[in-house]
Chain A
């Protein structure tokens, strides 16, 4: 099991010019841990991160899109696995932060918490390659390979809450930051 913030710090260290889509607590954390104009946190409704990321990946096939989804979120939008696999964007990396609960909503366990192999669901849906990682050193070692793989790639990351970071929902959904994202992406 990895602390989620430690997992994101590894991503921040290895990140080059990837778009990062993040949801819920991961979205709050990434703005502190990996501040970047290409952070996309404007998801707007639970479960929708993977679908926003698909739009970005289809719209900019030259840019790698890494989404940090949640297990509760993905359970709300499981069909997106099929939609994504059907489009088969080569630049799509779907990282699932599996913590087994609805952390933002009182840490109530998800249905079948810990008993679902999400990577198997992704493989069955048609993702090209899947990984399951529960150890920080392994994540550090595998991430360069994951980012080089032809997508869509699915990565289950077994995580738990780490250090607490300040929440700023206005930042997550800020129109100013969204428009800045658009400008920076257009020029990159």
Chain B
């Protein structure tokens, strides 16, 4: 495990560094086993499970309006399924929804836009069209971008996307 390139603990610590308590989530095969289950077991976090991803966009927005920071974990399929809520609530509504998106099936160390998987390939271009900043997390060194990205989202009242490029362990 010591040589494995991406640690779930490092991501969790970034959430803590950003002051996250609420984690809204729909299980994503990339992140569920080590990261999501780890968050569920950690009393510092309150995990809110949803049945469909657009709920998560809105729950995070309600939490923000009530004075809380949160992140929303989902698979890229759920991101694609939630585009209208992301457009209407997060982008046009200026809610700082911080999406943590697992890129299931992305080839290791290959740019998502070069992926053979269509859903992975189109995720970043869609975020670009929506004007949403995104950060690819594939190695432990990348994780240090997570807390600043969350901080920036809340400071600017705009959404951000943390793309998880391989399974964190």
Instruction: Categorize the interface residue count of chain A.
Output: 20 to 34
Residue from B57, B65, B88 in contact with A178 in the complex, judged by beta carbons closer than 8 Å: B65
Q: Does A113 sit within 8 A of B, measured CB to CB?
A: no
- Contact string, B65-81, partner A, CB cutoff 8 A, digits 1/0? 11110100000000000
- Contact string, B10-52, partner A, CB cutoff 8 A, digits 1/0? 0000000000001000000000000000000000001011111
Taking Cβ atoms with an 8 Å cutoff, the residues of B that contact A are: 22, 46, 48-52, 54-68, 70, 84-85, 87-90, 92-95, 157
Q: What separation, in Å, do the CA atoms of A186 and B64 have in the docked complex? A: 11
Taking Cβ atoms with an 8 Å cutoff, the residues of A that contact B are: 40, 42-45, 47-48, 51-60, 77, 79-80, 82-83, 86-87, 173, 175, 178, 181-182, 185-186
Cβ contact within 8 Å between A80 and B62: no
Q: What separation, in Å, do the CA atoms of A45 and B61 have in the docked complex? A: 12
Query: Given A44-B92, A45-B89, A48-B57, A79 and B51 touching (CB < 8 A)?
Result: yes
Hey, which chain B residues are within 8 Å of A178, CB to CB? Answer: 65, 93-94
Hey, which chain B residues are within 8 Å of A186, CB to CB? Answer: 67
Cβ contact within 8 Å between A173 and B66: no
Cβ contact within 8 Å between B65 and A54: no
For A178, the closest partner residue in chain B by CB is B65
* CB-CB nearest 8 A-B residue pairs: A55-B62, A59-B66, A79-B51, A51-B58, A44-B89, A44-B88, A45-B88, A48-B58
Hey, which chain A residues are within 8 Å of B66, CB to CB? Answer: 55-56, 58-60, 185
B130 to chain A, nearest CB (A): 14
Hey, which chain A residues are within 8 Å of B59, CB to CB? Answer: 51-52, 54-55, 58, 83
Cβ contact within 8 Å between B93 and A42: yes
Q: What separation, in Å, do the CA atoms of A55 and B66 have in the docked complex? A: 8
B85 to chain A, nearest CB (A): 5
Cβ contact within 8 Å between A185 and B65: yes
